[in-house]
Structures are given as structure tokens and as C-alpha cells.
Amino acid sequence: MAAIGRLDLSPRAVVLSIAAGVVLLGAVLATGARAERIGASISDGFGGMTAGMGLKLERVYIEGESAEATASIQRAVQLNADQPLLSVNLDEVRQRVEQVGWVKSARVVRLLPNTLIVHVTEHDRLAVWQTAGKAWVIDGHGQVIQGADPGRYPNLPLVVGKGAEQAAAEVLPLVAQRPRLASRLDALVRVDERRWDLRLKDGSLIQLPATNQEAALIQLDALDQRERLLELGFARIDLRTPEEVAVRPSARDA
């Protein structure tokens, strides 16, 4: 504050200061592209100086990743040990990590003096989707998770057919609420992109309606509790007509 009090703020001094500022601005503009090189040189010098003070990258911690995704995320980070920590562009690192198929979002944080933390949130694994002879792992929004191996997820439900990946998130929770049905389920097959057939492990088929799927499953629950229907091995249980159930016995019972 004492130094500010000694400043010369007379009109003549103010005019000279303004003139000096104009000359300096003109010199910077005249350099053109050289100004960018000067700025980059200053930045490099600053980074080197801070690295000399011990602020250099020594450790990168990745949090929230699955074992299957770790290698892909590590490759996406693309940083070298001992580079100046303050010169790391956190936003660029985040963008590279978010390009990995597993990753839904990422956050990158510097932890002085020598550490970078990359926290990732991966896509949830909802189901394995099979169509046109190929299979993919999908998330809760029906998005294919690039790089995920369907063979590593034998416990995920299997949904089959065109449009199944987009409609799966609606029907799968309804099936999961019914353990007796879920434990017998082999696959959910999308029919004409309108409705579902539930294929059971014993070969039985349960046909759901295009609408009011939950009401149909409630009706199936009531029959199963009363008649142990799912244990009888019927060839087909047709729930497509509201408040009506049509059952076709298996060939061995016919």
C-alpha cells in the first residue's frame, strides 16, 4: 500500500503510460505468428522451471475402471513420466479417456506435487444383444459398449432381434422382479420390433403382448402360484390377449 501511495499519477505521467502501452501493443501485433511462438516458449520455460522444483508427473492413478477396461484407459491417457505436471492439459486427457468405449464419463485432477488422478464412470452392462449373427454388450440406454466381449458376461440376460437393444431396458426389470421366471429364462426375443417372446431353458415359449407387459406378467404370476405353471413344461403360453391365457401342451404331453 505504501508503494501505491508513491505512484506518480500526474496527467503527464498518465499520458506517457498510455503511449507506452500503445507502442507495446503494436510491437506484439507486429510479431504475428511469432507471438504464439513466444507464448509457447514462455510456457515451456515455465513448465521446465516447475519440473525442476519437483512438480513433475511421477504417478497416474485410475479409479472406477473395470479390469477389462484398464488397458484401454491406460493407453488413452498418453502421458510420459517426468513431464512437467502443470503443463498437462487436463481437458485433453479427459477427452481421450472418454473416447474409450467402456467409459461414460471421466474426471481428471492434478494432485501436487507429482500425481494425476483419472476417475472414470463406465457404462452399466445391461444385457447381451444378439442380431444378424453377431453379439454385443449393451448398456441401459441400448448403446453398444465398444470393446466389451459378450463371452465374458454369461450371467447377463440375452436379448435377440432387431430393436431388442432399445426395448430391453423396459422389459428386463419386469422379468427380474420375478425370480421363478428369471431363473428359467434363456433369452428374450424381439418380434416385429413390437413385442417379446420369452424363451425358457426347457424350450417353452411365453408370448407377451405389445402393450401392458406388466399386467400380462402379473397374470402369469397368479397362474404360476396357483398351478406351478412354469414347472409343467408347456410348449407355449400365450399372454397376448388381455385377461386371457392360452396354453399349448408340449409334444410329449399331447
Q: Please check the confidence at residue 98 and state whether its pLDDT lies above 50.
A: yes
14 vs 171, higher pLDDT: 171
Counting residues of the chain whose pLDDT is more than 90, the rounded percentage is 70
89 phi and psi angles, rounded to 5 deg: -85, 105
In contact, 55 and 86? CB cutoff 8 Å: yes
Look up residue 176 and give its three cell numbers.
Answer: 427380474
pLDDT grade, residue 253 (50/70/90)?
low
DSSP 79-115: --TTSBGGG--HHHHHHHHHTSTTEEEEEEEEETTTE
Locate 205 and state its grid cell: 415359449
The segment with the largest mean pLDDT, out of 12-26, 31-45, 90-104, 227-241, is: 90-104
- Asked if 114 and 85 touch (Cβ cutoff 8 Å), the reply is yes
Residues in the chain: 254
- pLDDT higher than threshold 80 for residue 49: no
pLDDT of residue 235: 94
Q: In the predicted model, is pLDDT for residue 63 greater than 80?
A: yes
CA distance 167 to 195: 9
> Is the pTM higher than 0.75?
no
Least confident among 6-10, 49-53, 132-136, 170-174: 6-10
Q: How confident is the model at residue 244 (pLDDT cuts 50, 70, 90)?
A: confident
Residue 30, pLDDT > 70, answer no
Q: CA 116 to CA 91: how far, in whole Å?
A: 13
Condensed to tens digits (0 to 9), the pLDDT of residues 200-239 reads 999 999 999 999 999 999 999 999 999 899 998 899 999 9
